[in-house]
Structure 1
Amino acid sequence: MVSPPVRRRLGGLRALAFGARLALFGGRNSAIRTSLTAVGVGLGVAMLLFAASVPTVRNHRDQRIHQRIDVNLSDRAITRSDHTVLVRDIDTVFRGEKIRGRMVQPEGPAAPLPPGVLRYPRPGEMVVSPALHKLLNAPGNGLLRERLAHPIAGEIGDAGLLAPGEHVFYLVANHMAPDAGPTRRLDHFGKTYPRKPLPPELLLLCIAGIVVLLVPVGAFIAAAVRFGGERRDRRLAALRLVGANRGMTATIAAGEVALSTLAGTALGVVLFMTGRQFAGTVELQGLGVFPQDLTPQPLLAALVVVAVLSLSLGITQLSMHKVAVEPLGVVRKSGSTSRRLWWRIALPLLGLILLRLSVRSPADLHGTSGVVLLLIGMLSLLVGVTAVLPWAVERLTRLLGGFGPLPWQLAVRGLQLNGEATSRSVNGIAVAVAGAVALQTLLTGLAHNPVDSTARGAYGPSASTRVAVARLDDGGTRGAAYAPVLATTPGVQRAVEFRELSMSPLNGGFPQTVLIADCAHLRLLAQLPSCSDGDAFLTAPPGTDTRHDLTTWAAGMKLRMDMYGPRWTVPHIAATVRATPAYPAAVSSERTLLATPEAAGHTAIAHAVSTVGLTYATGFEDVEDHIRTAAARLDPAFSVEFPGKSQGNPALDGVRRALLAGVTAVLVLIAASMLLGALEQVRERARVLSVLVAFGTPRRTLATSVFLQSVLPVGLGLLVAESIGTALGSSLLDLVGIPAPRNWSTLLAIAGIGATVSLGVTLLTLPALWRSTRPQGLRHE
């Protein structure tokens, strides 16, 4: 005799199995519904598996960074041997693309090899990354080929690259001076050091990015499991007619959704494995990964499967509470009662309150309680978008219905009848847009933060000209003047040559700069009253007077060249003069010393860096690349700086590119969600559309109504999303004490993206719309 609890359990299992059979063998409509749900869940699962691979990607990237460190971070001195190599940085930039370059000179047959390099080529040859090789061979890149005019002897392997699209090269030389400042001797590549905690601003950005990227995926999956809900509810009513009770119908619905979810999970794994193979050929926002790096952590992968299944079952059960499935039909509880606003507004308000209480100071971001409250607050704000949007759509349709042209009335009536389904399809893009606006607000605020900005003021003769500084540490062995050659570069108006040397106080104070040149060149750097060999002058910073202030520099003061060089005595200073604003090397916040060769002395000249100050026209095409190329032709070790341009924050730039890549992928996913939702609505209304065409309604009118039915909720969703997203971004910036910027162009751009997505979805649903309006659609059983 089977006990009642066991009987109930077996009955529940049989109901689940029956729901699964209905999903597979319930007819054509069931197969379409199951396929749509599986595709939607599969796309969401694939996205979550990519997200679960982020820790592995980061670990592998950190390992590659550690393995190719080419700086001696230890205190021991490295002497020359057969196991050493000389290394010097020769990085460059081409049309905004950074290129990592190293000049290397092995000092013996057993010299260590950089990661990814199998052997050293002959002097004068170089090995390049595959992406740089492709860039060099691309048409229109003659300036880069001229700059890196060295024979290519091989390519760098994956072990020496941070991403497939990274541009790296190693140039082998045989004339490197081991005592030159930037040149260093190594006996191995690589160094492991403990990971440093992120600054509060970047930690906040990472937390916000995780929430913003994952919540729209959850909204997408929640919408996918409700595809075809109306037909499923009518079929459950038929089951009630043959004797099924309410609990059994809910269990049958759960079994149907569970099978669709499991099929979608399997499809998501297939999509992830397929997309993983092409990861090396795709870049989002300049960010790429190797296929082997995209390996989800086992715990996170299992959590994805459990979370997706739990979410689908939970959404199904919640949706069943809003529908009374009776033997003679389906009654929707939301059809006659108006949605209440108070609890929908309470969600974003609760989120704002929690954000205010979560972090009292930026240091609280490293605490567990602060991060938990921050996550709950962000989730409340973003989920509040999905709560407010259905109420807004309902109010809009009530206000706009009953008047207007026929396409407008059809669209509004369709929203009134299927407002819930429409809101589900738009919720995803609304949440994604709210998150994107919050991230953009946060990124803009951090980018304009003085702490994160390393840009210096641009000093130039006019708005149409700027300045550049080319430096070469040649160890005092300069054989020819560089300024006359650089002066002939296209776009360059003037070139002034001098020697530059950093001086440090003996007590370890702040280093100072000495510029060494003859009187003719010093007159181009500053407004000198008179000058003869042996004179020295101080420059007054911009905005200060030219009083003779010798608190920093005083005749007879003992300084040290660089950090560990020989001592140097400050010469007699003739006067304090006004620096020429055209040359930023002479214009700084400190009082720079200008010295003639006799005043500086031979030792100082030998330790100084050859420097050329350039004035160039901004309107000349690729002028910066022309300057870099001309300097590299003189010597590959030449470094060129453009002080008027912001250098940015590398850590912030890396996080920004990763987040923008994630937002791009999420928006593509949400566009797919809207397309699936639109196709489902066209399929649900096929018989109604066929009747309208049969009575003479033009198809153009129906297409316009479908477009309006997509644009209206999307426009309303964008308005709600941009309001909540701006509030979220401003609140996050307030946590770290940064004022929120006003970025109207971003809001308009995101609104344009929403309109473009609506138009694209409408165009893609037109074939299904034409098929649904055929006379065969009038047939009904």
Structure 2
Amino acid sequence: MNLDLTWRLLKGAGRKGLLGTWLTLGAVAVSTALLLFAVAANFAFEARADRSAWRNPVAAKGEAVAIEAARHDYVRDKEITVIDLAALGADAPAPPGMARFPAPGEVWLSPALKELAGQLPAEQLAGRFPSPKGVLGEEALLYPGELVAVVGHKPDAPELTRPRSDDWIVGYSPVKVASLAGEPMDDAEAYQVLALIASVLMVVPLLVFGGAAARLTVARRDQRLATLRLVGATPGQVVGMTVAEAVIVAFAGAITGTLAYALAAPLLAGIQIGGGAWFVSDLWPSPLVLGGLLVAVPLLVGLSAVVGLRRVVVSPLGVAKRETPPAMRFIRVVVLLAVLAAVPFLSRGSAVGPIAVVIGLAFLCVNLVGPWVVGIIGRVTAKQARRPARLLAGRRLVDDPRSAWRTVSGVAMTGFVAGFLCLLSPGALSGSANAGQLQVAVPADQTATVAEQARTRLKAAGITATVKPAKKLVAVALGTSADPATLDRARTALAGLVPGHTPTTEVDDEHFGVQILADVRAGTVVVLSVSFLVAIASAGITAASSILDRRQTYGLLRLAGTPLEVLDKARRAETLIPLTVMGGGAILVGAFCAAPFMIGAVNATGVITLVLCVGLGFAGVIAAGALSRPLLQSVTTDPAPRPD
């Protein structure tokens, strides 16, 4: 009975009532699509970590089946991961992405490396990996365009008997392994931690937006349900109809959002993080997680709708009479202050879980305090108003601060993210690295011999260079004007000069640092982009919903002679005034939460990011509000009040 009545009410709500339903569906669809992206990012990094684990060997505690070592080479400023392998018996397992274990002398290349080796002259790249035997599959690669080479050796080959650097950024010394399972690398774990923090910064605003979606057109629904209570509907029937309506619309929105994400996944896979793009399969969560989200989102929306029903169930007459709800309490501010008091202690620990939890709580507390502050802003605005539009805006903020907060909450949340990230945005490296000088690590008693061999090789390759032996290395100066082609020719000529060691420049040695800084910046752009999408969608949808909620009020004001321009100015003022206050407050709270993790002074990149966020946030809200002006004009064209 309840479901049938709910369906009839949905269908019979009229054109503007159905518009409110479509707004809710759109809000849930946006939330679901972006929530899938935020969740899938963690699974994507986890998938990368699993695929790269075999390159990080774990020493065998018992009988070993193979010897494994890793190093990094470079071409055109791109990193090449070289894995050296040797079988210790006939039962050595095939590495991931390979049909069998590589025989001594065999070279297997990733598709991207094979293609690049074919494009460049052999003296610049292919000469380092002669006569490739096979092509690596996806299981061996972090991302589609990764450059990887697997080289087979005999167990007593110098590449697998001589120690290498202990710095994991350079490579790994030979290790006897019982299997090729390995363990996640340090950089993989670092990216997973960053992904978790980024997810919190994206997911919490999405959850808030998703919950707010359930309360779109809340005034219209409260009036309708209060009327049903007054004519005899029980509290259980009212709750049942509300849940049914919210869940039906939310489930349709969740399905729509999932389909939108599926269409966008190939584009999202092009985002460059960790050195390259993504396999599309990485960006899809498991069926269990996907099914859980499709169930959780409608339940969240249904729960949020029920939470807002207390006034209807307890006092339907008060809703029908449009009484102003009781003011919110200061305890909301106390909760926020309590959470912020815990933030300075975060820098004393390294556990990412508590950090993510406290940041998430700070997010939620900003959302909790928002309506209370908006109510205070409304009282101040109404008291100091000198024009009708400002007075109307102030009275509206006092009358329904929760609705006003929903309109600006998206941008306020974006302000929190921007304030948090602006202090943590990394600056550039010094830029003083010498790109025209190669150096090779050499045993201390062989520097003179290796230096002479380097001169001979470079001369045979037609490369002019100054070779100088130094303590535990040989330096090859090509000059600061050396072009990339000459540099790669020198790398190829010197390949294998010292088995297991790669000739590198200072720029190569900084490659990981430059990459992680670029990835943090890219991650910042991604997080802020998601936040902006939420903010703009929230502002646009809630602005339109607010007009539908108050169409009877707007009609009465027009009948009383209020010009449409005054109503529009009042509507803009009730958005921009709390946006200015709460946006600035959220930025300060975000910066405060980031302060314990800040290293060094605030850099220009962070300040520019913050200024752009503030500017785009205000512009987005103003534009979203302007798009709903035709709807305001439509609902006031015939100002005669009509029953809902």
TM above 0.5: yes
Q: Which residue is 2:506 aligned to? A: 642
1:716 aligns with 2:581: yes
Matched-pair contact (CA < 8 Å) for 1:213–1:432: no
**Aligned-partner residue type, residue 260 of structure 1:** V
Structure 1's 131 and 273: CA in aligned 2 closer, same or farther, altered over 3 A?
Answer: farther
Structure 1's 482 and 433: CA in aligned 2 closer, same or farther, altered over 3 A?
Answer: farther
Residues 284-329 of structure 1: CA deviation (Å, up to 9, x unaligned): 6866432333453566456545543443233223323356432882
For residue 404 of structure 2, the aligned residue among 422, 429, 437 is 422
Shift of 1:775: 8.9
- In 1, Cα distance between the equivalents of 2:572 and 2:369? 23
Which structure shows the bigger proportion of residues in helix conformation?
A: 2
Structure 1's 208 and 636: CA in aligned 2 closer, same or farther, altered over 3 A?
Answer: same
Shift of 1:743: 5.4
- In 1, Cα distance between the equivalents of 2:492 and 2:599? 46
Matched-pair contact (CA < 8 Å) for 1:397–1:412: yes
Matched-pair contact (CA < 8 Å) for 1:91–1:101: yes
Shift of 1:632: 3.3
Alignment of 1:648-727 (within 5 A): 656=520, 660=524, 661-662=526-527, 664-684=529-549, 688=554, 710-727=575-592
Q: Structure 1: give runs of 5+ residues left out of the alignment.
A: 1-13, 501-513, 516-608
Q: Which residue is 1:45 aligned to? A: 32
State which structure, 1 or 2, has the greater radius of gyration over its C-alpha atoms. 1
**Aligned-partner residue type, residue 381 of structure 1:** A
Q: Which residue is 2:332 aligned to? A: 344
**Aligned-partner residue type, residue 616 of structure 2:** T
- In 1, Cα distance between the equivalents of 2:571 and 2:267? 35
Alignment of 1:92-241 (within 5 A): 92=74, 94=76, 98-102=78-82, 115-116=96-97, 127-130=109-112, 147-148=124-125, 156-164=136-144, 166-170=145-149, 178-179=157-158, 191-193=180-182, 208-241=197-230
Q: Which residue is 2:170 aligned to? A: none
Match of 2:322, SS state, is strand
Match of 1:499, SS state, is strand
1:778 aligns with 2:622: no
**Aligned-partner residue type, residue 91 of structure 1:** D
Structure 1's 692 and 635: CA in aligned 2 closer, same or farther, altered over 3 A?
Answer: farther
Matched-pair contact (CA < 8 Å) for 2:125–2:489: no
**Aligned-partner residue type, residue 243 of structure 1:** G
Alignment of 1:715-754 (within 5 A): 715-731=580-596, 733=597, 741-742=601-602, 746=606, 749-754=609-614
Match of 1:639, SS state, is coil
- In 2, Cα distance between the equivalents of 1:88 and 1:197? 14
Shift of 1:236: 2.4
**Aligned-partner residue type, residue 582 of structure 2:** G
Q: Which residue is 2:17 aligned to? A: 30
**Aligned-partner residue type, residue 26 of structure 1:** A
Matched-pair contact (CA < 8 Å) for 2:66–2:179: no
Q: Which residue is 1:387 aligned to? A: 368
**Aligned-partner residue type, residue 44 of structure 2:** V
Alignment of 1:567-646 (within 5 A): 610-613=474-477, 616=480, 625=484, 628-629=487-488, 631-632=490-491, 634-635=493-494, 639-642=503-506
Shift of 1:226: 1.0
Structure 1's 408 and 130: CA in aligned 2 closer, same or farther, altered over 3 A?
Answer: farther
- In 2, Cα distance between the equivalents of 1:48 and 1:767? 25
- In 2, Cα distance between the equivalents of 1:45 and 1:246? 30
Structure 1's 204 and 68: CA in aligned 2 closer, same or farther, altered over 3 A?
Answer: closer
Shift of 1:162: 0.9
Structure 1's 321 and 74: CA in aligned 2 closer, same or farther, altered over 3 A?
Answer: closer
Q: Which residue is 1:292 aligned to? A: 281
- In 1, Cα distance between the equivalents of 2:116 and 2:226? 63
- In 2, Cα distance between the equivalents of 1:654 and 1:189? 36
Q: Which residue is 1:320 aligned to? A: 309
Matched-pair contact (CA < 8 Å) for 1:467–1:615: yes
Matched-pair contact (CA < 8 Å) for 1:322–1:332: no
Alignment of 1:337-416 (within 5 A): 338-340=327-329, 342-355=330-343, 362=349, 365=351, 377-401=358-382, 415=397
- In 2, Cα distance between the equivalents of 1:136 and 1:396? 66
Greater shift, 225-234 or 423-432, is seen at 423-432
**Aligned-partner residue type, residue 383 of structure 1:** L
Relative to the length of structure 1, the TM-score reads 0.61
- In 1, Cα distance between the equivalents of 2:540 and 2:113? 35
- In 2, Cα distance between the equivalents of 1:721 and 1:66? 40
Alignment of 1:204-283 (within 5 A): 208-244=197-233, 248-276=237-265, 279-283=268-272
Structure 1's 149 and 310: CA in aligned 2 closer, same or farther, altered over 3 A?
Answer: same
Shift of 1:159: 2.0
Residues 577-597 of structure 1: CA deviation (Å, up to 9, x unaligned): xxxxxxxxxxxxxxxxxxxxx
Shift of 1:721: 1.3
Relative to the length of structure 2, the TM-score reads 0.72
Matched-pair contact (CA < 8 Å) for 1:389–1:423: yes
- In 1, Cα distance between the equivalents of 2:604 and 2:280? 38
Shift of 1:423: 0.7
Which structure shows the bigger proportion of residues in strand conformation?
A: 1
Match of 1:676, SS state, is helix
**Aligned-partner residue type, residue 376 of structure 2:** R
Match of 2:204, SS state, is helix
Shift of 1:772: 4.4
Matched-pair contact (CA < 8 Å) for 1:105–1:172: yes
Aligned residues: 610
Matched-pair contact (CA < 8 Å) for 2:410–2:535: yes
Matched-pair contact (CA < 8 Å) for 1:42–1:266: yes
Shift of 1:16: 5.2
**Aligned-partner residue type, residue 370 of structure 2:** L
Matched-pair contact (CA < 8 Å) for 2:44–2:282: yes
Q: Which residue is 1:481 aligned to? A: 455
Alignment of 1:457-496 (within 5 A): 468-471=437-440, 476=449, 481=455, 496=466
Structure 1's 399 and 187: CA in aligned 2 closer, same or farther, altered over 3 A?
Answer: closer
Structure 1's 260 and 643: CA in aligned 2 closer, same or farther, altered over 3 A?
Answer: closer
Shift of 1:670: 3.6
Match of 2:158, SS state, is coil
Shift of 1:26: 3.0
Matched-pair contact (CA < 8 Å) for 1:90–1:636: no
Task: Note the aligned Cα RMSD (angstroms).
Answer: 5.7
Structure 1's 163 and 189: CA in aligned 2 closer, same or farther, altered over 3 A?
Answer: farther
- In 2, Cα distance between the equivalents of 1:187 and 1:197? 20
- In 2, Cα distance between the equivalents of 1:676 and 1:321? 24
**Aligned-partner residue type, residue 471 of structure 1:** V
**Aligned-partner residue type, residue 629 of structure 1:** D
- In 1, Cα distance between the equivalents of 2:195 and 2:573? 37
Alignment of 1:516-555 (within 5 A): none
Shift of 1:683: 4.5
For residue 331 of structure 1, the aligned residue among 303, 322, 332 is 322
